[in-house]
């Protein structure tokens, strides 16, 4: 009898452990964007050192009463810092259910980002180059954001990113863009990711205790063209390497209802390290 | 501060009492290598030969045991100075610090251990934490372990921790539970059953790297890797009179494994992680009586890779969490030990038969036959598909009180490409090695020993002769001179007919043993218990000290 108890205990434990299903890391089962140009060469002249830019992924929601305060800080930082500051407003599910017939600013990529590096249970909040600063990745106090961004901007980056629009066809809603990566130092393993964002979206927003039906939402994440962690660029890239890649996307592939306004859209590019930190980022308007 | 003062007073007051009841033991192992560049045998091209010229490795252990209290503790200082021990082909490695510390206390039937510990479940298939300094292995687990003895025949133990990585740790977490018992079923029949469950959880950083790699694959090759892997095993030893039958079967849940033979379904030239479960069966049957013993072993391994992570830096002996026992004979003589197969974790079907027969006192015959195949065995191409085959026979004959001989022969068929890679190595090295050993006792203390060996390995190094003469004055002094002569190199070897000689002497005084040797050593696979690594050529002086107290 004692023996039987022991056997049942182990079999039960084994079944219990086996039944523990897990979600696992993010694996992209969609086709990657097609690379039209892929060139790598070693620069004959040393590539100059550069500092990091900041990818500023602010979590917001139309039903978040304090989020306009966060949006205001973000807009001020963009106005002050210009190209060094790459804002992305992320409407993950929390407090982001649209009012009435407004368009839904939420999307699967926003939720993926929040779930994979969150949880995001407080808004407004932000990732600053997705770094863990002071033991936390999600920075929650807008008053501290400027100082943290300044600290990040003072750090060196091993790569400079130059993102250009090669061509944009408004009728066909296609965009061809080129990214140039110039490495000034040996680089650890890293990924490159691309977002589509849109500004000047009018949708009702709770602001304090008031609903503002004409609220203008800026830099809203519409689609992550790559997985939110990007796709691998390489593992052994040495100093003075230059990589040039060109891609083309059809916006209708992501927005079949043609709601997104191409004139208000940006492409964001970023370099992500294996520890989830963003090395640097850049952004370009699709139609300047 | 007040607390610290109280503790200090307590320690001072109890110190003599503590040490009066217990005892201290320890040991020191010190090894120095001095490198002399010799590009003709490949002993060159690393910073040891080019610049550093020497290295030192040492392990100093100090243990305290108090049997009255059921208390044990210990600490070991590890020192690696310009070491090439862990990875001989790599640049020098320097680090030193506490390589092991532990505290252990018995509470009646419960024993608790904290710190670094070594342990294994069953035959080690699901979990084994062990040290083999000769191979640069120290797989200690750092964590806590509890063992409970239900009665004299049954116990259970469980642990949680992380695996040691030199003087730091791998990040994945290992947990395990094991129960084992003894069931007597009469005078000559008994069972020793056991069961084990082991879980490994990959850390976020490692998983992020794995996910990145998988996201870089073609769509058809992508899969969602698991953070958690579970291993289950059941084993039993049955003793019936002169027979002993051991069997262990284990299953491992699906996870990303690093199989160098697993190719992309889109591009067969591209190696990708495989997402597979694994299983293994290992069994041995022994019959033994006075003057005669025979053992048969069988093992089938299918994707039973169990490491801290499937990442590339955790292959070979790095990051291993289990031990798959070898079935082939473990040879110790110089030339017969040159071609040894490492236990395979991805795919292996192996069996062996070993016997010993002593028809009269002083005369013993040993024989061994073993084969290793892939898991898919085609009877039509059975012989050609062999990964490894060994036929071994020897005779030990104690001719008189003064003269003892060992005479034997070994035949090996070895798939060098499979075991050593890369792809341009021969797949069927045929090795033939006769050998002789003579020991002559001059008097009660002095003896002289001679080894003579020949080896033909035409598709590898060609033909060898090896001779050793060793003079011993027991128990203090030993001096040996040997030469391994590649007198007719194989066509694939660019080396000339090189001599690999060595001179070795040691002096033992009580528990202290000093040794110094000059060694010119050919590159080769060094294996112990089925675990192997490639040892590059060496030329230089080795000196060391082993002592215990």
Cβ distance of B197 and A14 shorter than 8 Å: yes
List the structure tokens of A10.
């182990």
Chain A interface, Cβ < 8 Å to B: 3, 6-7, 10, 13-14, 17-18, 20, 22, 24-31, 189, 191, 227, 229, 231-232, 274-276
Which residue in the set A24, A31, A231 is minimally distant from B216, CB to CB?
A231
Q: 3-state class of A194 per DSSP?
A: strand
* Alpha carbon distances (Å) from B163 to B77, B100, B169, B172, B287: 18, 12, 6, 8, 38
Q: Please give, one letter per residue, the 3-state secondary structure of B399-426.
A: CCCCEEEEEEEEEEEECHHHHHCCCCCC
Report which DSSP code applies to B343: P
Cβ distance of A27 and B226 shorter than 8 Å: no
Closest-CA residue in chain B for A189? B209
Nearest Cα to A69, choosing from A153, A140, A147? A140
Q: What is the CA angle A107-A110-A114, rounded to 5?
A: 140
Using CA atoms, how far apart are residues B367 and B391, in angstroms rounded to an integer? Answer: 8
Q: Is the pLDDT of residue B389 over 50?
A: yes
Which residue in the set A13, A24, A232 is minimally distant from B224, CB to CB?
A24
Q: What are the chain A neighbours of B210 within 8 Å (beta carbons)?
A: 25
What pLDDT is attached to residue B496? 76
Using CA atoms, how far apart are residues B465 and B476, in angstroms rounded to an integer? Answer: 30
Under the banding of pLDDT at 50, 70 and 90, the label for residue A9 is low
Q: What is the CA angle B9-B12-B18, rounded to 5?
A: 130
Lowest mean pLDDT among A183-192, B252-261, B372-381: B372-381
Q: Is the pLDDT of residue B314 over 70?
A: no
Using CA atoms, how far apart are residues B242 and B320, in angstroms rounded to an integer? Answer: 35
Which residue in the set B154, B216, B226 is minimally distant from A24, CB to CB?
B226
Q: Is the pLDDT of residue A16 over 70?
A: no
- The C-alpha of B216 sits at a distance from chain A's nearest C-alpha, in angstroms, of 6
b/e A163-188 (16+ beta carbons within 10 angstroms → b)? beeeebeeeebbbbbbbebbbbeebe
Q: Which of A202-216, A221-235, A250-264, B150-164 has the highest mean pLDDT?
A: B150-164
What pLDDT is attached to residue A263? 93
| Higher-scoring residue by pLDDT: B298, A101 | B298
Number of other residues whose CB lies within 10 A of the CB of residue B453: 22
Q: Is the pLDDT of residue B86 over 90?
A: no
Which residue in the set B181, B222, B227 is minimally distant from A29, CB to CB?
B222
List the structure tokens of B2.
């007040």
> For the residues B395-416, what does the mean pLDDT come to?
96
Using CA atoms, how far apart are residues B445 and B159, in angstroms rounded to an integer? Answer: 49
Cβ distance of B208 and A29 shorter than 8 Å: no
Which residues are within 8 A (CB) of B274 and not within 5 positions of it... i.e. 6 or more apart?
A: B256, B257, B259, B262, B303
Using CA atoms, how far apart are residues A93 and A96, in angstroms rounded to an integer? Answer: 5
Under the banding of pLDDT at 50, 70 and 90, the label for residue B381 is confident
What pLDDT is attached to residue A222? 94
Q: Number of A:B CB contacts under 8 A?
A: 68
The β-bridge partners of B507 are B477, B514
pLDDT by residue (tens digit) across B527-540? 666 677 777 889 99
The residue among B212, B217, B222, B252 with the most chain A CBs within 10 A of its CB, best to mutate, is B212
Closest-CA residue in chain A for B255? A24
Q: Which of A248-257, B217-226, B362-371 has the highest mean pLDDT?
A: B362-371
Nearest Cα to B191, choosing from B246, B243, B237? B237
Q: Is the pLDDT of residue B495 over 80?
A: no
Contact B223, B214 (CB under 8 A): yes
Cβ distance of A275 and B225 shorter than 8 Å: no
- The C-alpha of B226 sits at a distance from chain A's nearest C-alpha, in angstroms, of 6
Q: What are the chain B neighbours of A276 within 8 Å (beta carbons)?
A: 208
What pLDDT is attached to residue B317? 75
Q: What are the chain A neighbours of B219 within 8 Å (beta carbons)?
A: 29-31
Using CA atoms, how far apart are residues B119 and B164, in angstroms rounded to an integer? Answer: 13
Closest-CA residue in chain B for A191? B212
A27 backbone dihedrals φ, ψ, rounded to 5°: -120, 130
Using CA atoms, how far apart are residues B421 and B487, in angstroms rounded to an integer? Answer: 25
Q: Is the pLDDT of residue A30 over 90?
A: no
The residue among B213, B215, B252 with the most chain A CBs within 10 A of its CB, best to mutate, is B215
Cβ distance of B230 and A14 shorter than 8 Å: yes
The average confidence (pLDDT) of chain A is 88
Element (H, E) at B387: none
Using CA atoms, how far apart are residues B118 and B97, in angstroms rounded to an integer? Answer: 19
pLDDT by residue (tens digit) across A125-157? 999 999 998 888 888 888 899 999 999 999 999
What pLDDT is attached to residue B46? 82
In a 13 Å sphere around the CA of B12, the CA atoms on its Cβ side amount to 6
Q: What is the CA angle B512-B514-B516, rounded to 5?
A: 170
| Higher-scoring residue by pLDDT: B190, B16 | B190
Lowest mean pLDDT among A34-48, A55-69, B217-231, B353-367: A34-48
List the structure tokens of B400.
């008189």
What pLDDT is attached to residue B206? 87
Q: Is the pLDDT of residue B494 over 70?
A: no
Pairing state between β A278-285 and B388-398: unpaired
Length of chain A measured in residues: 288
Cβ distance of A229 and B177 shorter than 8 Å: no
| Higher-scoring residue by pLDDT: B186, B7 | B186
> For the residues B418-423, what does the mean pLDDT come to?
78
Q: What are the chain A neighbours of B216 within 8 Å (beta carbons)?
A: 231-232
Under the banding of pLDDT at 50, 70 and 90, the label for residue B327 is very high
B442 backbone dihedrals φ, ψ, rounded to 5°: -70, -45
Using CA atoms, how far apart are residues B386 and B378, in angstroms rounded to an integer? Answer: 10
What pLDDT is attached to residue B383? 74
Block residue for tokens 């978040």: A64
The average confidence (pLDDT) of chain B is 90
What pLDDT is attached to residue B530? 67
| Higher-scoring residue by pLDDT: A235, B503 | B503
Chain B interface, Cβ < 8 Å to A: 154, 177, 179, 181, 195, 197, 199, 205, 207-216, 219, 222-228, 230, 232, 253
Lowest mean pLDDT among B82-96, B193-207, B431-445: B82-96
Cβ distance of A27 and B211 shorter than 8 Å: yes
- The C-alpha of B171 sits at a distance from chain A's nearest C-alpha, in angstroms, of 14
> For the residues A154-161, what does the mean pLDDT come to?
95
Q: Report the complex ipTM.
A: 0.76
DSSP labels, A109-130: HHHHHHHHH----SSSEEEETT
What pLDDT is attached to residue B190? 96
Percent of the residues in chain B that have a pLDDT greater than 90, as a whole number: 70
List the structure tokens of B195.
């069961």
What pLDDT is attached to residue B1? 46
> For the residues B260-288, what does the mean pLDDT come to?
90
What pLDDT is attached to residue B116? 98
Which residue in the set A7, A28, A274 is minimally distant from B208, CB to CB?
A274
| Higher-scoring residue by pLDDT: B100, A237 | B100
Using CA atoms, how far apart are residues B124 and B147, in angstroms rounded to an integer? Answer: 17
> For the residues B116-136, what does the mean pLDDT come to?
92
Q: Is the pLDDT of residue B85 over 90?
A: no
What pLDDT is attached to residue B447? 96
Using CA atoms, how far apart are residues B480 and B472, in angstroms rounded to an integer? Answer: 9
List the structure tokens of B459.
């598709």
Percent of the residues in chain B that have a pLDDT greater than 70, as a whole number: 93
Using CA atoms, how far apart are residues B59 and B546, in angstroms rounded to an integer? Answer: 10
> For the residues B326-349, what does the mean pLDDT come to?
92
The β-bridge partners of B33 are B55, B542
Q: What are the chain B neighbours of A189 within 8 Å (beta carbons)?
A: 209, 212
Strands (E), A129-173: 138-139, 156-157, 159-169
What pLDDT is attached to residue A14? 59
Contact B544, B513 (CB under 8 A): no
What pLDDT is attached to residue B319? 86
Nearest Cα to B82, choosing from B73, B71, B91, B74? B91
Q: 3-state class of A278 per DSSP?
A: strand
Largest Cα–Cα distance of chain B, in whole Å? 81
What pLDDT is attached to residue A19? 55
Strands (E), B150-222: 154-165, 168-181, 183-184, 189-201
């Amino acid at each position: 009898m004692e023996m039987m108890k022991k056997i049942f205990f182990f079999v039960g434990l084994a079944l219990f452990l086996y039944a523990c299903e897990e979600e696992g890391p993010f694996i992209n089962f969609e086709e990657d964007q097609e690379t039209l140009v892929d060139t790598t060469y070693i620069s004959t002249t040393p590539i100059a050192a550069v500092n990091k830019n900041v990818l500023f992924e602010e979590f917001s929601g139309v039903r978040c009463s304090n989020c306009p305060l966060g949006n205001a800080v973000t807009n001020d930082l963009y106005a002050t810092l210009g190209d060094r500051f790459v804002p992305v407003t992320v409407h993950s599910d929390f407090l982001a259910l649209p009012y009435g017939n407004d368009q839904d600013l939420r999307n699967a990529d926003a939720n993926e980002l929040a779930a994979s590096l969150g949880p995001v249970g407080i808004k407004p909040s932000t990732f600053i180059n997705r770094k863990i600063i002071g033991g936390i990745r999600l920075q929650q106090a807008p008053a501290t954001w400027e100082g943290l961004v300044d600290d990040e901007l003072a750090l060196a980056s091993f790569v400079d990113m130059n993102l250009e629009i090669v061509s944009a066809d408004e009728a066909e809603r296609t965009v061809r863009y080129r990214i140039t990566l110039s490495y000034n130092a040996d680089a650890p393993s890293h990924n490159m990711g691309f977002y589509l964002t849109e500004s000047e979206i009018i949708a009702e927003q709770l602001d304090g205790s008031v609903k503002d039906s004409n609220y203008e939402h800026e830099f809203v994440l519409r689609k992550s063209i790559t997985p939110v962690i990007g796709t691998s660029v390489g593992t052994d890239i040495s100093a003075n390497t230059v990589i040039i890649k060109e891609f083309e996307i059809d916006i209708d592939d992501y927005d079949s209802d043609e709601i997104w306004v191409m004139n208000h859209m940006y492409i964001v590019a970023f370099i992500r390290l294996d520890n989830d930190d963003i090395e640097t980022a850049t952004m370009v308007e699709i139609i300047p | 501060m007040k607390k610290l003062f109280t503790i200090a007073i307590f320690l001072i007051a109890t110190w003599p009492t503590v040490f009066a009841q217990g005892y201290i033991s320890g040991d020191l192992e010190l090894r120095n290598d001095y490198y002399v560049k010799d590009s003709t045998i490949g002993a060159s091209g690393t910073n040891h030969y080019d610049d550093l010229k020497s290295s030192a490795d040492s392990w100093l252990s100090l243990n305290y045991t108090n049997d009255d209290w059921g208390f044990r503790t210990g600490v070991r200082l590890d020192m690696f100075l310009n070491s090439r021990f862990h990875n001989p082909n790599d640049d020098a490695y320097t680090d030193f610090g506490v390589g092991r510390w532990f505290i252990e206390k018995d509470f009646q039937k419960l024993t608790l251990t904290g710190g670094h510990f070594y342990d294994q479940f069953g035959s080690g298939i699901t979990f084994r934490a062990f040290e083999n300094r000769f191979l640069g292995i120290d797989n200690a687990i750092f964590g806590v372990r509890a063992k409970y003895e239900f009665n004299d025949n049954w116990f259970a133990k469980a642990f949680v921790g992380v695996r040691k990585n030199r003087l730091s740790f791998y990040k994945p977490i290992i947990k395990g539970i094991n129960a084992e018992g003894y069931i007597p079923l009469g005078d000559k029949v008994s069972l020793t059953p056991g069961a084990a469950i082991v879980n490994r959880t990959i850390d976020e950083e490692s998983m992020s790297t794995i996910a990145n790699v998988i996201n870089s694959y073609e769509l058809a090759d992508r899969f969602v890797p698991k953070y958690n892997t579970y291993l289950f095993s059941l084993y039993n030893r049955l003793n019936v009179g002169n027979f002993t039958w051991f069997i262990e079967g284990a299953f491992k849940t699906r996870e990303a494994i690093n199989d160098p033979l697993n190719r992309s379904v889109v591009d067969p030239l591209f190696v990708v992680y495989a997402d597979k479960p694994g299983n293994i069966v290992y069994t041995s049957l022994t019959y033994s009586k006075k003057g005669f013993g025979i053992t048969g072993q069988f093992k089938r391994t299918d994707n039973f890779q169990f490491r801290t992570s499937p990442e590339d830096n955790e292959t070979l002996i790095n990051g291993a969490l289990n031990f798959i026992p070898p079935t082939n004979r473990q040879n110790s003589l110089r030339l017969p030990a040159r071609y040894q197969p490492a236990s395979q974790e991805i795919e292996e079907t192996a069996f062996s038969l070993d016997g010993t027969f002593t028809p009269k006192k002083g005369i013993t015959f040993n024989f061994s036959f073993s084969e290793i195949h892939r898991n898919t065995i085609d009877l039509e191409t059975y012989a050609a598909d062999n990964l490894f085959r060994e036929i071994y026979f020897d005779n030990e004959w104690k001719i008189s009180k003064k003269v003892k001989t060992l005479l034997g022969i070994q035949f090996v068929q070895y798939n060098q490409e499979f075991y050593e890679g890369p792809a341009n190595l021969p797949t069927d090295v045929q090795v033939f090695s006769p050998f002789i050993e003579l020991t002559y006792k001059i008097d009660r203390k002095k003896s002289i020993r001679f080894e003579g060996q020949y080896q033909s390995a035409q598709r590898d190094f060609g033909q060898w002769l090896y001779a050793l003469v060793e003079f011993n004055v027991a128990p203090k002094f030993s001096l040996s001179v040997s030469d391994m002569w590649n007198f007719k190199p194989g066509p694939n070897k660019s080396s000339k007919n090189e001599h690999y000689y060595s001179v070795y002497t040691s002096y033992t005084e009580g528990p202290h043993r000093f040794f110094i040797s000059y060694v010119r050593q050919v590159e080769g696979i060094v294996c112990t218990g089925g675990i192997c690594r490639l040892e590059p050529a060496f030329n230089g002086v080795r000196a060391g000290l082993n002592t215990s107290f």
